[in-house]
Every structure is written in C-alpha cells, then in structure tokens.
Amino acid sequence: MSSKVAAPGLFDAAIIKRASIDAFKKLDPRRLARNPVIFVTEIVSALVTAFFVRDLIAQNGQAFFSGQIAAWLWFTVLFANFAEAVAEGRGKAQADALRKTRSDTLAKRLIDPCGEAGMKEVYQGVSALELRVGDIVLVEPGDLIPGDGEVTEGVASVNESAITGESAPVIREAGGDRSAVTGGTTVLSDWIKVKITAAPGSTFIDRMIALVEGAQRQKTPNELALSILLSGLTIVFLIVCVTLWPLAVYSGAYLSITVLIALLVCLIPTTIGGLLSAIGIAGMDRLIRFNVVATSGRAVEAAGDVDTLLLDKTGTITFGNRMADEFVPVGGVSEHRLAEAVLLASLADETPEGRSIVALATSRYGLEAPVLGAEAMIVPFSAHTRISGVDLPGRSLRKGAVDAVLAQATPAVSEWIGGGTTTLSPSAVDRARVEFDQAVERISRAGGTPLAVSENGRLLGVVHLKDIIKPDIKARFAALRAMGIKTVMVTGDNPITAAAIAGEAGVDDFIAQAKPEDKLAYIRREQQGGRLIAMCGDGTNDAPALAQADVGVAMQTGTQAAREAGNMVDLDSDPTKLIEIVQIGKQLLMTRGSLTTFSIANDVAKYFAIIPALFVAAYPQLETLNVMKLASPQSAILSAVIFNALIIIALIPLALKGVEYRPVGAAALLRRNLLIYGLGGIIVPFGGIKAIDLVVSLLHLA
C-alpha cells in the first residue's frame, strides 16, 4: 500500500501565515488584471478610499460611512487574494518538501569507456549540476541518482520514497519498461549505469515543483469561458450602475458615488470571481495529494469530461498474475496423480504462476512439496520452447503452452503407474485427446489460460490458470456507466478469453490481441466522434496513444518516453487510479459549477437589500420590497457590502475541499445543483444580510 503525499491541514498555521502575507502581495494591479472581477473591485476600492480621504479632510459627515465602505471593499479584494494564496500555499508546502530531495550530489561520470589500458572504465567525480544530457554515470549502493535518466546497464533496488511516498524499494534495470530513474532517489543494492536524459533545472522534480506551486498554471478553456462570462456580467452591471445616476437625478433621489460603487460590487459576481483561481489550484492539489502530478489544469479539467476510459487488463482489471484455479485430468488419470506430477514440474518454477500451482497442489490435495535431489535435471522455461519441467529417473515431466506440449506428445506410450507399466490402446489415446481438447476449449471460453501437462510424452491433463478479477472493479465500472462513461478493456488475449474476462469484469467493450497501433487507432476513431478519451500506460510503445489521448496517465515506473507523452504522471504507478482521476476531475467541474450558481443566485437577495434603500425616498412604493426590514438605507448598503466580503472567506473551505462527488447523471446533478446552490444562494444572503444589519444597527455603525 502506498502512502500518499502528506497533505497539510486546511487551516495549517504556516499556510495561513504565508497566505496572509501573499494576499497583500497580490494587490499588485498587474497580477490582479488576470481576474477582471476582482481587478474592477480593487479599482473602485481605491476610488472610494480617495473619497473617504476627501470627506475626512473636509470633515464631511459622510466620512465615517465612506470609510467603512472602503474598508470592506478592500477586505473583499484581500479575501479573494487570500483564497488563492491558501490554495497556492498548500502546493508550496509540498514543493518545499520536494526541494529537500534536490541536492548538489557528487556524480561518477564515465569519461573513458575503455580506460587507458583498455581494461577498466574510468570515472570522474563531478557535481550533479555539471551533468549534461547524454552523460553516463555509475550509481552504486548508497548513492543518490544525480539526475533523470534511463538505465543502460545493470539492475538495482531503488528507494523512491522521496518522490512517491512509497517505502518499499523498486527494481530498476536496463531495457524494458522499468528502466526510467528519477534524480534524488537512492540506490539500495547492486549498481546501475544511467544515461542522463534531463538537464539540471528541467528534471522531473523541477517540473513537479513548478507545477505544485502553480507557477506555470494556465487557465483552462472552461475557466476562460467562465472568465469571459463574469467579465460580461461586470460590464453589464457597470452600465446599469452608471445609468442609475441620471435616473436618480430625474427622480429627485440623491445617490453618492460611494453608494453606486457599493451597489456595483454587490451586484457583480465577486464570490465566484474571488474563488475561481482557488478552485482550479485546489483541483491540481487534490491530484498531488493522491500522488498524481498533472502537467496542466487542462488535464484535470479534461478528466472531468472524459467519455471513454481505456484500461489495460493486466494489473488494472485483474491482479496481474495468473493463478492456478483447478487441475483437469484426462485419459483416466486421477486428479491426485495429475496434481503430484505438476507439483514436481513446478517446484523449481519461481514465476507467480509456478508458485500458485505449488500452493494449489499442497493446499487442495494435501501433497507435501518434496526436495528435488541431485539426480533431478531442471528444465527452465524459455520463450523459445514455452515449456518448463523436470527430468527424474524414469520420468520426464513437462508443463507449458498447449501447442508446445502437444508437439512433444506421442500418440501411444507406456504409462508409469507405481513402478509398473501399461499400454494405452489407440481408442483410449483418442478419447484422452478429445477430453484434452474439450478441457482446453472450456478453460479458454471461461477467460482462463490452459497449461498442458505431460509425463514421458503422454498428456496427463490441463492446469487452469485464471486471471483473478479485482473484487470491487465491477461495482466501480457500474458507477462509471451511471455517469455515462464507457469503459474499454485492452488486452493481448485472444477474443474468446478477452470476451469472458470483459463479461466478468463488467466493462462495456474490449480490444483483443491489441498492439500499440490498435490503441492509437481506437483513440483517434473515438475522438473523431466527439468523445474525450483517457488511458494509462508505462512503456515506450504506449507513448503515441498517451500523447493522443485527452487524458494520458503515465506511470512513474515507466519509460521516459511515456512520462513525457502523457499529461499526468502517477507516482504510485497504479493503473486503477485512472478511475479516481476521473472522479477528481468531475469534482473540480462540479465545484466550479456549484459556486458559480451560488454566486449569481445570491445577487438576487442583494437587489432586495440595496435597490429599495436607494430609491425608497423617491418611490415610497419600493418599501414593499424591503422584505428584510433593514434599519436604514445606509445600514442596508453597508450590510450588503459586509456580507459580500464575508461570504468569500466562508466559502474558501468548500472551494479547497471541493463539492462532494456522487456518480449521478447530468440531469440529477443539475437538479441537485439548482436545489442546493441555486435556492441556497438566494436564501442564505437574506438571513446573512439581516443578521449583519442587526449588528450594524446595534453598534450604530451606519
């Protein structure tokens, strides 16, 4: 079990202290210009502050009121900055932890592959900061790997806990999909030669630090669209407030610029404007705490809109190791004898399949695992023969692929039974072959892998190796289906086996006998139909599909090519996490939509607070709209401004934590959103503004 990246508390003292300071730093107009709503609020806050200074110098009776309005407008801006700073602070705390893994270590760089005498390689000790792409370094037990690279020679046990949080060491070796290593990790045993693939300053840790700090975070398409909408609403309400001036003059009502500014700030969507950046940063932060690094906010958002999930069978849907499930004897052989034969043939087999055969034979049939003597000749498995086994005096036991074992079987041979021999008739051999073929077909149709067993060339039976489906995977796929997401299993198995496993796991579709180009072709075909695709991979052959997918999750243990092709990196290298990534993406979209609904809805209550207060003198009939029975016009305006500022700080925990995710359809989600955040956005301000008005009136602040 992997330990996740330590998450600082929501109200961690260090984060709050840093965020409080950063909130003032973010008052820089050049930084606020990226957020039009809060930028406008800052401009009008400065304007009201100027009026306050003017009234104070002139000893105008309005100075106290305008001073309070100015103060709460500045609080509105600061609270919005504080929300973003808290979200960034959580990332900065994680970045500080990552920085501790970087050090100016001493690297053993290869400078002469042959050496002066042509016998021994020559290495030079250099600073890790001096390494360049293409350099070869030697890393021995206890050494820190000085930079990102690929293992070119050797095999070693590596401690990657500084990056992944996983305490168990992992094996890194040359070739294959486990050759990538990360700078800052430690070699525990053996040695490896590493070819540096990233220059100092652009390593994986450097990219992680930049990402978790949000320094390179760009607005996603949905954020840009929402920003345009909020900017449009700001312009509309700005025009409304400007046109109210001549309307008030015509009506004989007096409206100060301070009051009009207070109205503008209350009507524009300052709530969502102040929380929008925090929501996006928090979404990436939730992924980081789940040990997934997203290279951009786009990837997180795309995960929430995914229509189709591509998942590898092995290690994702199944546990990854085929396990012996049953022994099927043929030709009159007893199960006990088949179990005894296959046990002997598997004693020296250290593969997971071999160990599972030994475990099944000893547990189900009560056999004792004997010790092979010196006379035993082990036949190791090879990719060429696809057979393994053992040769004992008078016995040649083999197990392996069906076609490979059949090629060695003889049509009629002597059968060894307790030291005696009998001869099988041709008809008995034929019956045994029919039984054998039937067993192989049954196991294949059930989604298993048949393993043939023979003794001295005679078929004894079949071992049923079964891909064990993860117990909770079917329910998770059902939840995804309820959300409208299609699941597709990718496997190299034959279509019959793939269909059986797909049916048991509950996936919607499968790609059998899949090659890398098949994955890429499927993704492109689905994307042409307007669908968003997510997939995970770890090998160089997965890189094209990872790059093509809308959400490509590369495994940290995979190759450098795979990590560069994807737009997310899973530090735990757990393919099943793709499902949680989709859920985090959807939670991000739900949170943004819910708070946008709340922000726009709570403007309704502010209409009832401010509009009657502004025009009740000129139009007494508007008193009927004063449903909250606010104490005075000034009290109503001040209470609305105070509520407008405080609601931002009140919603920061929700923006950072996210709206609770539930796998429901779009229609049900819309109803829930409107009921809780739409209706709630209307009701809450009525109670909040009224409560603030009571306090304001009691303290005679207005």
What residues form the annotated binding site for Mg(2+)? 538, 542
Residue 381 corresponds to which tokens in the numbers above?
């498995």
**Closest residue by Cα to residue 303 from 312, 292, 315, 291:** 292
Cα atoms in the 13 Å half-sphere on the side-chain side of 501 = 34
CA distances from 164 to 161, 176, 521, 583 (A): 5, 21, 33, 21
Closest CA to 266 of 666, 548, 649, 611: 611
- Side-chain-side CA neighbours of 549 within 13 Å: the count stands at 32
CA distances for 156 relative to 122, 153, 188, 189, 193, angstroms: 21, 10, 7, 6, 10
Q: Contact 345/389 with Cβ under 8 angstroms?
A: yes
Length of the chain: 702
Active-site entry in 206, 312, 550, 603? 312
Please give the annotated binding residues for ATP, written as ranges.
349, 353, 381-388, 399
Q: Which residues of 111-146 are buried (b: 16+ CB within 10 A; e: fewer)?
A: eeeeeeeeeeeebeebebeebeeebbbbbeeebbbb
Phi, psi of 531 (to 5 degrees): -100, 150
What contacts 162, CB < 8 A, 6 or more positions away? 100, 101, 184, 185, 186
Provide the angle, in degrees to the nearest 10, between the axes of the packed helices 63-99 and 13-25. 120
Structure tokens at 346: 């598997």
- In terms of C-beta distances under 8 Å and separation of at least 24 residues, what long-range contacts does 535-540 make, across chains too? 535/309, 535/310, 535/311, 535/490, 535/578, 536/310, 536/311, 536/312, 536/316, 536/566, 536/570, 536/575, 536/578, 537/312, 537/562, 537/566, 538/177, 538/562, 538/573, 539/177, 540/177
Active site residue 312: yes
The whole-angstrom separation of Cα 321 and Cα 314 is 8
Q: Given the structure tokens 């009525």, which residue do they identify?
A: 686
Measured N-to-C along each axis, helices 577-615 and 666-673 cross at an angle, to the nearest 10 degrees, of 30
Cβ atoms of 566 and 293 closer than 8 Å: no
CA distance 567 to 585: 14
Given the DSSP bridges, would you call strands 149-159 and 186-196 parallel, antiparallel or unpaired? antiparallel
Virtual CA dihedral for 140, 142, 146, 151, nearest 10 degrees? 40
Ordered alpha helix ranges (H), 137-256: 161-164, 204-212, 221-251
Q: What is the DSSP letter of 9?
A: P
Please identify every residue annotated as catalytic: 312
